[in-house]
Amino acid sequence: MRIIDLSHVISDGLVTYPGLPAPAISDHLSRAASRERYAPGYEFQIGHIDMVSNTGTYLDTPFHRFADGHDLAGLDLARVVGVRGVLIDATGAQVADAALLDGLDVAGAAVLFHTGWDRYWATDTYGDGMHPFVAMDAVERLVAGGAAVVGIDSVNIDDTRGGDRPVHTALLGAGIPIVEHLRGLDQIQATTFTFTAAPPAVVGMGTFPVRALAVVA
């Protein structure tokens, strides 16, 4: 068994999505200060992070798009833990269309679009409008085929050159969570793998960072 980490590291000041603030990571209780609270020889650190939910590699639930959609606490973990993976080679094209899904069984699967855009992570290029995205004809196939979760290693699964977000609308409207900002999909050199990307169960929030990973037998 081989575990492949598909998540970006979250660090102080690192911008994930253009226009959104970077996380600020600090000590709530430093080790030095903790020595005053505990017995001699004992010290602890309690961290503090101030961030927007769309930070690092994160998962969207329906509440992200729809006020009446389920939030993180309502996520069915069966959709995102140990799910059969289907890797889509979408490298070399800006638009991942339905033809890439021909002959694939996506029912109950984690469908991950490998575009290679993660190579631009933490650069100005990563967030520009020319990033790869998924076409609506592919989304319609994913919804009809019963995909469990859909992911991409790009800045957004939608085309961000306009204000509409049809891919988010269709997938989240069908109850299919989305994982964006994946990395390392090129390391999955097998046809058989499982995918896991579980967020904390936070009430009233639709998006949160995840530790996404693939397990290759």
CA dihedral (20, 22, 24, 25) positive or negative: positive
Is a pLDDT exceeding 80 seen at residue 190? no
Using 50, 70 and 90 to split pLDDT, how confident is the model at 185? Answer: very high
Span 149-181, pLDDT tens digits: 999 999 999 999 999 999 999 999 999 999 999
22: its two tokens: 């970077």
Q: Which of 134, 166, 130 is nearest to 150 (CA)?
A: 134
C-alpha span between 8 and 122 (Å, rounded)? 10
In order of their start, the domains of the chain are: 2-8+53-216 (3.50.30.50)
Span 17-72, pLDDT tens digits: 999 999 999 999 999 999 999 999 999 999 999 999 999 999 999 999 999 999 99
98: its two tokens: 């339905």
C-alpha span between 146 and 176 (Å, rounded)? 9
Tell me what pLDDT residue 37 has.
96
Q: What is the pTM of this model?
A: 0.97
Mean of all residue pLDDT scores within the chain: 97
